[in-house]
Amino acid sequence: MTQLRLNPTTRRSPFHWRPDQQWEAYLFILPSLLGFLVFVFLAVGASLGISFLDWGLTGPKGFVALNNYRETLRDPVFWTTARNTVFYIVTIVPLQLALGLLIAVALNQAIRGLDAFRLIYFLPVVTTIVAGAIVFRLLLNRSGPLADVAGGIGSLLGRPVRLPDFFGSAAYSKWAVVILTLWKNTGFTMVVYLAALQGVPKELYDAAHVDGASAWQRFRHVSVPLISATTFFLFVLQTIGAFQLFTEPFVLTRGGPAQSSMPVVQYIYDNAFRFTRMGKASAIAWFLFLFIFAFTLVQNITQRRWVYYETE
């Protein structure tokens, strides 16, 4: 029986793994591994322990078992912030996906100044969110420039036109956060969708055009199905981001008025650093973790079923 022998002079791949090189590989990943262990793994474990304690900024005051969790579930402000977070998810995520796709389709055409338009739409992504929030606070103020524009339009129409009170009304405060978040993040969605659209073979569009398909039909039956994986990826990414929303409402509305625009993450921050209740803040953080974990579990199951039906 013929045996296969390896030629010792055969050149190996430069990525071939040898046992004597393992320590070098671990040495390269050691800085990131230490950072993960100290600032993520140990921090998560510490927050779980603190959630069972009455812990102020100066240290633990005593063991309270599940009291922090029970108090959180009985706290009406927690449920208000949870509803606000759900509102941000159901408004920001679909609007951001729709606007990002619309802009990507428009910027996927052969038009003059295409690179400049792409740069303009992407600039908010790399703009400091604090600076953007300050500008939007000036723009959306009842005495700001947009209010003056609304007053001018009212003068032309012969009836008063007023800008909504985004910072003094509980009905509109969340919409100010939505507007700022869409301005900030839609450019990222646009870039990802644009890359996906450019990966669709041009021959499919040509074949659909020859068959008499209109521009809308080509978009609906060619583009949308072929970028569905990108849509799913963006949906998951943006939903988790909406769960963790903090900077936009914190800078723009301070969570007010009367917690009407405060998300869960800002309530965690307030309990930890304003009220110095680290135990309760940690308990709320673990509730948020359970919400995100449940969502991730559901989307993983959905993704597996989606892949299964796509391959049938």
Q: Could you state, in order of their start, the residue ranges of all structural domains in the chain?
A: 67-311
The confidence score (pLDDT) of residue 262 equals 94
The confidence score (pLDDT) of residue 72 equals 92
- The pTM score is 0.82
The CA distance from 312 to 301, in Å, is 17
The confidence score (pLDDT) of residue 4 equals 46
The confidence score (pLDDT) of residue 210 equals 86
* Of residues 275, 248, 283, the one with CA closest to residue 263: 248
Q: Are 170 and 257 in contact (CB under 8 A)?
A: yes
The confidence score (pLDDT) of residue 26 equals 80
Sequence-distant (≥ 6) Cβ neighbours of residue 97 within 8 angstroms: 189, 231, 234, 235, 238
The confidence score (pLDDT) of residue 271 equals 92
> Which amino acid type is present at position 152?
G
Q: Are 187 and 122 in contact (CB under 8 A)?
A: yes
The confidence score (pLDDT) of residue 16 equals 53
The confidence score (pLDDT) of residue 10 equals 47
CATH of domain 67-311: 1.10.3720.10
Q: Mean pLDDT per 10-residue run, the chain (312 residues)? A: 47 51 77 86 87 82 89 93 94 95 90 87 91 90 83 81 84 92 94 92 86 86 88 90 92 88 93 90 92 85 62 50
> Which amino acid type is present at position 174?
K
Cα atoms in the 13 Å half-sphere on the side-chain side of 237: 13
Strand, helix or coil for residue 53: strand
The confidence score (pLDDT) of residue 306 equals 58
Distance of CA 72 to the CA centre of its chain: 25
